Amino acid sequence: MTAIVTKIETLEITIPLPKPLLLGAMPIMARQYAIVRVYDNEGNFGVTYGLTRGAPIAATMERLIAPRWVNQKLENHEQFYENTVAGNHFMGTHGIFWRALSLADCALHDLLAKRAGKSLCGYLGGSIKPVQTMVAGCYPTSDETEASLTALMQHMLSYGAAGIKITSSTDYVRDTTRLAICRRAIPTGPPFVNDLYCMVKDVPALIDQARQWTDFRMLWVEDPLPFDDIAGVTQIATALPYAVGVGDEQASLLHFERLMDQGQIGVLRLDATVCGGVRAFIKIAKAAAARRIPVSCHIFHHLHAQLAAAIPNVQWIEYMLPATNVESIHLLWNSDLRWENGRLVPSALPGIGCDWNAEAIEHYRLQS
């Protein structure tokens, strides 16, 4: 029997956080997720999830993607993916459409791997192995103290990870103070990343402080500017003695090639749930390899651990620590990935291998 896509289902779920996160002009009171399932006519389905960022992912999936996928032969997935891109050129190369398409493609690859009886990394030609991991979760909060930062750093150190990601306060003088506290807490701990989440408005002011961060042993400074400010990224990259990493929420192979060729970045940040899906992730990572630029993944560790185990130049994945209360997706899982000597081990189950809790999903879906 010929396998056919029969349905794409999107569940939009909101899970409140224990306390709000402060990201400059973006206070985050809850995390909003889209869980996407792609079904075939043989009773199988692939599933993945991503952040919606408040965007109408379900409506976008229903109007722009499902009509071009449903009733298509699975073996023609490359063709109907490209037809979907070609039919939505006016949606641009970033934003809501690409987020929805990326999630559909990730769920599709979960389905393809499950049908083959392989883990996703095995389906892509890789093998199960521990992958280098960075821990994240140090967001600024209104009740933060030196003691709380110190305790958090010591907790993050206990994972033995390759690096620790700290989230900027958008006040770069305060960032210098926070980074100094963090390094004093773990003087021989792993290097730091400072995530600026595209909020830098004064590049010279950032450079003035970021040069001082060299003393804190930095791996890179992350996503300082909006997507289209490649000249600004170049200015920062040439001014600092350590790397700039860019790309978290961006899409399009052509855009990433321009970013790598013109932006002088040292690390390419990549997220399969935004960049165009698994197939786009592979193409962009290969383009980075040709330029000898390492890839670091943006959260979603189940999915990205699979890709890192299959693609050689994907050097780091991220793990958002549940104890830090900056994410809430772990409430929808029965179990998480296993740690081995400071690295996460991808699931050996067919597909991406996320161990979903169906009752929890239904509970939070109804609450949403």
Closest CA to 85 of 317, 245, 277, 226: 277
> What are the angstrom distances between the C-alpha of 347 and each of 49, 315, 356?
16, 18, 13
Is 27 or 348 the better-scoring residue by pLDDT? 348
| pLDDT(1) > 80 | no
Alpha helices in 186-327 (DSSP H): 203-212, 230-239, 253-263, 278-290, 301-308
CATH superfamily of domain region 123-356: Enolase-like C-terminal domain (3.20.20.120)
Mean pLDDT of 173-186: 97
| Cβ atoms 222, 246 nearer than 8 A | yes
Using 50, 70 and 90 to split pLDDT, how confident is the model at 275? Answer: very high
**Domains of the chain by residue range:** 5-117+358-367, 123-356
Whether residue 223 contacts residue 195, with contact meaning beta carbons closer than 8 Å, is answered with yes
Confidence label for 25 from pLDDT (cuts 50, 70 and 90): low
- pLDDT tens digits for 92-139? 888 999 999 999 999 999 999 999 999 999 999 999 999 999 999 899
Q: pLDDT tens across 229-269, in order?
A: 999 999 999 999 999 999 999 999 999 999 999 989 999 99
Burial grade of 224 (CB within 10 A; 0-12, 13-18, 19 or more): buried
Residue 315, C-beta contacts closer than 8 angstroms, at least 6 positions apart: 132, 294, 295, 296, 308
Average model confidence (pLDDT) for the chain?
A: 95
- Across 84-92, average pLDDT: 92
**Architecture of the domain whose range is 5-117+358-367:** 2-Layer Sandwich (3.30)
Q: What is the mean pLDDT of residues 269-298?
A: 98
118 in Cβ contact with 127 (< 8 Å): no
Name the pLDDT band for 51 (thresholds 50, 70, 90).
very high
Strands, sheet with 26-40, edge to edge from the N-terminal-most edge strand: 5-23, 26-40, 45-51
Residue 278 burial (CB count, 10 A): 28
Q: What is the pLDDT of residue 94?
A: 87
Cα separation of 145 and 254, whole Å?
43
- Beta strands at 163-167 and 192-195: parallel, antiparallel or unpaired: parallel
* Share above pLDDT 70 across residues of the chain, in percent, rounded to a whole number: 99
User: Residues 134-164: pLDDT tens digits?
Assistant: 999 899 888 899 999 999 999 999 999 999 9
DSSP lists the bridge partners of residue 267 as 245
Q: Exposed (0-12), middle (13-18) or buried (19+): which is 231, by Cβ within 10 Å?
A: exposed
pTM of the model: 0.96
Residue spans of beta strands (DSSP E) within the chain? 5-23, 26-40, 45-51, 131-138, 163-167, 192-195, 218-222, 243-246, 267-270, 295-297, 314-320, 333-335, 338-340, 343-345, 355-356
pLDDT per residue as tens digits for the range 56-77: 999 999 999 999 999 999 999 9
Q: Are the C-beta atoms of residues 219 and 242 closer than 8 Å to each other?
A: yes
Give the DSSP per-residue string, 77-124: HHHHHHHHHHTTGGG-SSSHHHHHHHHHHHHHHHHHHHHHTSBHHHHT
pLDDT in tens, 313-334: 999 999 999 988 889 999 999 9
What does the angle CA 246 – CA 250 – CA 256 come to, to the nearest 5 degrees? 70
Give the per-residue pLDDT at 367.
85
